[in-house]
Structure 1
Amino acid sequence: MTDSHITAQTRHVEVDGARFAYRRWGNTATAQPPLLMLQHFRGGMDHWDPLMTDGLAQGREVILFNGRGVASSTGTPRTRIEDMADDAAAAVHALGLEKIDVLGFSLGGFQALDLTWRHPDLVRKLMLLGTGPRGGDPEMEPKALTTAPRPMPVFEDFEYLFFGRSEKARQAARAFWERRHARADQDPPSSQAVAAAQIEANMHYLPRVSEDDPFAYLRTIHQPTFILNGVHDVMVPTVNSFYMARNFPNAQLFIYPDAGHGAQFQYPQRFLHHAVHFLGEQG
């Protein structure tokens, strides 16, 4: 592996009139399929933690991906999660790939879940971080409702939204922030049009698929599934992870202590230990 999170070139693949930005690097001398990574609300490729992405790339290729209109991608931002998922599937096919693993964080988790549900033959394994199902519990903390959409979020916003409340958690937040900004040519921030479109998409995601059995559709997703959250997620309540774990036929659930929405950023080494084992597990 010669490239890294810091050095991987930003490339584009054109699908239906949009140029989707992506970065792809990692270990190609492996039987593991590439891991497609879908980011949180407004997030671009440099909102990932290099320690996390490079750690995952030791055993497989990783593909960081910006959806339609997000950050360095072009096109009109989507207002429905299922359309975002279909765009990701189309981009994967345009890259010549027949099988992937997919990891989604927060709103990216909504997309990863729909991608797996709508394109089951494309996905081998599914990883869902700080996210929830259609029709889950939407009750985020009131402060999160005003912090997350802020036009120019700052360190204190990420610290509140993603991390726990202890001094150790605050130290982890500062370390993540430094790693996150290590790359010189950072992705541009997403526009306010992206924020508005994704808020609308989130609202469409809230209603239940079925009132009688709202999570029945999860029981049709048979891919091995990895679910992670912090014990106190202020954005997507942690109980949603339990709803998913109880309904996916083949899921395992991790809840990290003293952590919030971005548990994988607070405990990157612990996450890598669990994630690498999950992705490499046979059967």
Structure 2
Amino acid sequence: MTELDTTLETAPTRYIESRTIRFAYRRLGPAPGTPLVLLQHFSGNIDAWDPAVVNALAADRPVIAFDNAGVGRSSGQTPDNVEAMARDAVDFINALGLSEVDLLGFSLGGCVAQQIASEYGRLVRKLILVGTAPKGGEEHLLAVLQQAFSQTDVPDPRLPLFFTASDASQSSGLAFLKRTKVRKDDRDTDNGNAVTDPQAKALISWCATSDPDHGILRAIRQPVLVVSGSHDTMLPADNAYAMFKQLSNAQLALYPDSGHGALFQHHALFVNQVRAFLDARAMAA
């Protein structure tokens, strides 16, 4: 098995054209295997992923991090609804010529992953949903953002956004921030309100739209790993349990003393669980 000699910090940013969008992406890991496609959180781009997570997952499988429409160095306009974001992501996957992928969706990316798995089921083999919410779920996006950005004494708003106030969680948060800043050259771009405004509308609308029959979740027949932090203030852990109950073939993992960025705080545990989940033979739902 030939591995690509790259990490998230060193991999070149590549580009591929879909029908209407030029997508920026980085591909890591060996060529063989089912690719794991990463769907990023609200406001995040490729360089907002944690190298400790991405590099470890890419040790034994192809991993693809990309900017969806209008984000980072991808062209186009960022949609203000999850359904359009899902269509754009599927266009990207199709442009790469991939017939089957695994999806890891974090936060807003988890909403997009649910939409893809329910609407384009044959494209998705397995699904990992982290710090996210079902349609009609509970969100506190604007309140949490306001509180985080009001803390002018912190070095980065992601510390209060993603981590709890405990010393252990804050220490993990500082280590995470350090890892995300290792790459110095060819870093992704922050497109500001042109991304965050429509993304906020998409996430809030997704949670404000009731799905009384759980149609999205019940349409997902693939195996799913649901992960949440115990003290996620943006998209509370109750969402994870609600999804777990409605999904036909799901596992649930709740991480202690952790917030929205539980996968970054407990990165070793998260990677081990994801590897075991992706490598396990799928059981019939």
Task: Identify whether the pair has TM-score above 0.5, normalized to the shorter chain.
Answer: yes
| Match in the other structure for 1:120 | 121
Count of aligned pairs between the two proteins:
276
Output aligned runs, 1:85-234, within 5 Å.
Answer: 85-139=86-140, 142=143, 144-147=144-147, 155-185=155-185, 186-211=187-212, 213=213, 215-234=214-233
3-state SS of paired residue (2:208): coil
Q: Assess if the C-alpha contact under 8 Å between 1:165 and 1:258 holds in 2.
A: no
Matched with 2:251 is 252
1:6 is matched with: 9
Q: Residue 75 of structure 1 corresponds to which residue in structure 2?
A: 76
CA distance in 2, matches of 1:224, 1:264: 19
Separation of aligned partners in 2, 1:138 and 1:112: 17
Q: CA deviation at 1:36?
A: 0.3
| Alpha carbons of structure 1 residues 195 and 148: separation in structure 2 relative to 1, 3 Å | farther
Q: Deviation digits for residues 36-58 of structure 1, max 9, x if unmatched?
A: 00111110000011111010001
**Partner amino acid, structure 1, of 2:170:** R
CA offset digits 1:165-212 (Å, max 9, x no partner): 21111111111111011111221112211111111212321234444x
SS of equivalent to 2:94 = helix
CA 1:166 to 1:100, structure 2 compared with 1: closer, same or farther past 3 Å? Answer: same
Structure 2 CA distance for partners of 1:256 and 1:73, relative to 1, 3 Å: same
Deviation at 1:69, TM superposition (A): 0.6
Give the CA deviation at 1:147.
Answer: 4.8
- Cα gap change, 1:78/1:147 in structure 2, threshold over 3 Å: closer, same or farther? farther
Higher deviation after alignment, 194-203 or 54-63: 194-203
1:44 alignment counterpart: 45
Q: CA deviation at 1:140?
A: 5.3
Q: Secondary structure at the match of 2:157?
A: helix
Cα distance 1:141–1:198, how it changes in 2: closer, same or farther (>3 A)?
closer
Asked whether the equivalents of residues 149 and 195 of structure 1 are also in contact (C-alpha less than 8 Å), the reply is no
1:15, CA displacement in angstroms? 1.8
Q: 1:15 aligns with which of 3, 15, 18?
A: 18
> Post-superposition shift, 1:3?
1.3
> Which residue matches 2:239?
240
Distance 1:68 1:155 in 2: 29
Would the aligned equivalents of 1:12 and 1:20 in 2 still touch at CA under 8 Å? yes
Please, which moves more after superposition, 88-97 or 160-169?
160-169
Aligned-partner SS, 1:89: helix
Which one is further off, 184-193 or 83-92?
184-193
Distance 1:36 1:209 in 2: 28
SS, match of residue 21 in structure 1: strand
Asked whether the 8 Å contact 1:141–1:234 carries over to 2, the reply is no
Is structure 2 residue 284 aligned with structure 1 residue 281? Answer: no
The question of whether the paired residues in 2 share the 8 Å contact of 1:13 and 1:21 is answered with yes
**Alignment root-mean-square deviation, CA:** 1.8
For 2:6, what is the secondary structure of its paired residue? coil
Letter in 1 for 2:19: D
Q: Which letter maps to 2:204?
A: M
Structure 1 residue aligned with 2:266 = 267
TM-score normalised according to structure 2 size: 0.92
* Alpha-carbon contact 1:116-1:221 (below 8 Å) kept: yes
Partner SS state of residue 227, structure 1: strand
Letter in 2 for 1:91: F
How much does 1:146 deviate? 1.2
Structure 2 residue matching 1:128: 3-state secondary structure: strand
Q: 1:188 to 1:148 in 2, by over 3 A?
A: farther
- In structure 1, list runs of 5 or more residues that go unmatched: none
Amino-acid identity (%):
39
Stretch moving more, 11-20 or 261-270: 11-20
In 1, are the aligned partners of 2:148 and 2:160 still within 8 Å (CA)?
no
